[in-house]
Structures are given as structure tokens and as C-alpha cells.
């Protein structure tokens, strides 16, 4: 069993990201598996300088021990290039020159699970892949076929990629690889078997399964835990001003995370050492106690 925690260095770690780290760590480590740490830093414009080290320091001060070297996606662009080349050889890609505005104003556009469903404007234009955004053909292959998978917490998930997502971007016009491609390539390269992460990525999973199929990679097990939202219903993030985790409050932070994960740690545990808290957490870890949905104000 190999799991991972894969934060983006867009800001410091907050309680929302800690939840995913704690859950995947306990689930994988309690079964004797390996837990990897990967910094997802390919979307360079969104990054905050120094956030990667801040995240690593916070994980360390909270008592996490990861296996092997920390992987940085920015150092693995060759792998993403290779995957793109394989998909090109399978005739699954095309160049797209559409602006957001053009897509939004197209008469055939519809709203999908993650923004507009691309109305296939450039599908048959044979544009140069190097000079444009690159999309993968979903609509041809998946028009009458749903992606179905069993999520450990969310149950059976079904999505019609053609109708709910459409041909999606694998490399943007500015040359930046999409999260969807990088994550699939890295999980396969690192031998990840079990992905435990926040529910905000549930809608992305069918795209990732589709890419796994196209690239001939093994499908992994998925488990999506509820995310924490603020009073306005927004996911906690740097944009919604989620406070950074303070290392001196590591035990209290972890106690809070375990509580949110339905593990019901005893109150006294908050006065114990970090080692004791982790000991309790490993002894009592029960993934079945994680609530399916949760709204924290």
C-alpha cells in the first residue's frame, strides 16, 4: 500500500489540508504502507515563494514521517512531456486556440461539473500542439459511456465525461501542464495505490481515471474525505484567509483534525505529548468513522 500527501505551495498549511494529511497518513501507515510527500508546484503563477518549505516544516513539527525523498513536480516536466507524446501517438490530442471568452459565448456551450463543457470548436482544425493549448478527446470516446468507480467513503461515483466535462486541457497555451495530467503521471511513477484526499477533487477523479486508461496505467483506490468550509460555504484556502497552522499548537491542531475526522479523541489527549497523541490515533484509527459530508463554520 502506497499513499501520498500532495500539497500545492500556494500558501501555508491550514486545518483543511491537515485533515487530508492526517487521514491518508493514518490509513496508510496503520496498514504498514508507505506515505510519500509530493509538492505540486507546476502551476507557477499561483505559488507563494517559501510555501513549500513552510509546509514541510509544519508537517515535521506535527510529527509526520514520510518515506523517501520529497518529489517536486517542477522537476519532472520530462515525464509529463513523455505522457503527452504517448497520447499524441494515440491520436487523442488536438490544439485549441479558444479564449475563455470565445468558449463562454459559444452558442453550444453548456455548464459542466468544473466550468464550461468545451464545445469542440477546435477539434478538427489540426492546430500545432506546440503553439496552443492541448486538449484530450473525450467526447469521441466517452459519449455513451460513463466513468464509474467505488469511493471508499463517497460510495459509487458515476460521471459522463463527454457531457459533464468535455475535451479537457492537458497543457495550457502558456506551456504549463494541467494538474490532471501531472497527478496521474506522478501517482503511477511513484507506485501510489491509495489516494485519500479532499472531496473538492471528487469531480476531477473521472478525468484522472480516463487518463490512466488512455496511458495504460493501473487504476488506484480512491477515498474522498469531506472538506471544511467557512460560513460562506467556501473551501478553506489561502484565498478564503484560512489561518496557517501554528507549530506550537501541533497537538491541539491534530486533536481538532481527528475530531473532524470522526475519531472522537478524548479531551484529555489535548494535554498529552505529540507522541502520545499519534499513538492514540494509530490505535483507534477507523476510516469508517469519517463523515461523508461535513460543514464546519
Q: Which residues bind Zn ion (CB under 5 A)?
A: 96, 98, 121-122
**CB of 121 or CB of 287, closer to Zn ion:** 121
**Cα R_g (the chain), whole angstroms:** 20
* Cα–Cα distance measured from residue 279 to residue 283, given in angstroms and rounded to the nearest whole number: 6
* Cα–Cα distance measured from residue 228 to residue 236, given in angstroms and rounded to the nearest whole number: 6
Element (H, E) at 77: helix 77-89
Q: Could you identify the residue written with the cell 484567509? A: 241
39, 9 in Cβ contact below 8 A? Answer: yes
Q: Could you identify the residue written with the cell 483534525? A: 257
**CB of 98 or CB of 270, closer to Zn ion:** 98
Residue 169 Cβ vs Zn ion, minimum distance, rounded to whole Å = 10
* CB neighbour burial string for 202-212, b if at least 16 within 10 angstroms, e if fewer: bbbbbbbbbbb
**CB of 1 or CB of 121, closer to Zn ion:** 121
* Cα–Cα distance measured from residue 192 to residue 189, given in angstroms and rounded to the nearest whole number: 8
**CB of 130 or CB of 293, closer to Zn ion:** 130
**CB of 96 or CB of 153, closer to Zn ion:** 96
Residue 132 Cβ vs Zn ion, minimum distance, rounded to whole Å = 8
Give long-range contacts, CB 8 A cutoff, 24+ apart: 204-207: 204/114, 204/179, 204/180, 205/149, 205/151, 205/157, 206/147, 206/149, 206/157, 206/159, 206/161, 206/165, 207/161, 207/165, 207/168, 207/180
**CB of 121 or CB of 252, closer to Zn ion:** 121
**CB of 36 or CB of 96, closer to Zn ion:** 96
* Cα–Cα distance measured from residue 20 to residue 93, given in angstroms and rounded to the nearest whole number: 33
C-alpha distance from residue 208 to each of 85, 138, 215, 239, 279 (Å): 17, 12, 10, 25, 35
How are beta strands 221-225 and 194-198 bridged, if at all? parallel
Residue 129 Cβ vs Zn ion, minimum distance, rounded to whole Å = 12
Residue 105 Cβ vs Zn ion, minimum distance, rounded to whole Å = 13
Residue 176 Cβ vs Zn ion, minimum distance, rounded to whole Å = 17
Residue 109 Cβ vs Zn ion, minimum distance, rounded to whole Å = 11
**CB of 121 or CB of 244, closer to Zn ion:** 121
93, 84 in Cβ contact below 8 A? Answer: yes
Main-chain phi, psi angles of 128, to 5 degrees: -65, 125
Residue 97 Cβ vs Zn ion, minimum distance, rounded to whole Å = 5
Amino acid at each position: 500500500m502506497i499513499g501520498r500527501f500532495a500539497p500545492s505551495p500556494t500558501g501555508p498549511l491550514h486545518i483543511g489540508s491537515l485533515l487530508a494529511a492526517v487521514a491518508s497518513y493514518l490509513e496508510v501507515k496503520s496498514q504498514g504502507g508507505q506515505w510519500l510527500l509530493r509538492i505540486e508546484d507546476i502551476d507557477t503563477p499561483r505559488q507563494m515563494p517559501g510555501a513549500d518549505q513552510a509546509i514541510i516544516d509544519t508537517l515535521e513539527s506535527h510529527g509526520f514521517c514520510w518515506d523517501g525523498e520529497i518529489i517536486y513536480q517542477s522537476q519532472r516536466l520530462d515525464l509529463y512531456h513523455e505522457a503527452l507524446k504517448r497520447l499524441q501517438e494515440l491520436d487523442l490530442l488536438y490544439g485549441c486556440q479558444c479564449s475563455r471568452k470565445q468558449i463562454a459565448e459559444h452558442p453550444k456551450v453548456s455548464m459542466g461539473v468544473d466550468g464550461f463543457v468545451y464545445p469542440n470548436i477546435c477539434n478538427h482544425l489540426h492546430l500545432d500542439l506546440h503553439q496552443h493549448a492541448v486538449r484530450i478527446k473525450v467526447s469521441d470516446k466517452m459519449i455513451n459511456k460513463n466513468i464509474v468507480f467505488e469511493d471508499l467513503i463517497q460510495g459509487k461515483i458515476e460521471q459522463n465525461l463527454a457531457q459533464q466535462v468535455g475535451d479537457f486541457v492537458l497543457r495550457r497555451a502558456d506551456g504549463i501542464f494541467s494538474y490532471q495530467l501531472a497527478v496521474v503521471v506522478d501517482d503511477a511513477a511513484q507506485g501510489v495505490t491509495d489516494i485519500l484526499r479532499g472531496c473538492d477533487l471528487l469531480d476531477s477523479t473521472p478525468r484522472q481515471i480516463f487518463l490512466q486508461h488512455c496511458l495504460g496505467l493501473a487504476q488506484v483506490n480512491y477515498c474522498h474525505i469531506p472538506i471544511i468550509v467557512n460560513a460562506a460555504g467556501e473551501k478553506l484556502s489561502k484565498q478564503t484567509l484560512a489561518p496557517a497552522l501554528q507549530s506550537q499548537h501541533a497537538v491541539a491542531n491534530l486533536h481538532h483534525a481527528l475530531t473532524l475526522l470522526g475519531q472522537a479523541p478524548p479531551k484529555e489527549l489535548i494535554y498529552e505529548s505529540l507522541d502520545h497523541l499519534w499513538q492514540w490515533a494509530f490505535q483507534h484509527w477507523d476510516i469508517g468513522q469519517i463523515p461523508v459530508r461535513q460543514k464546519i463554520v
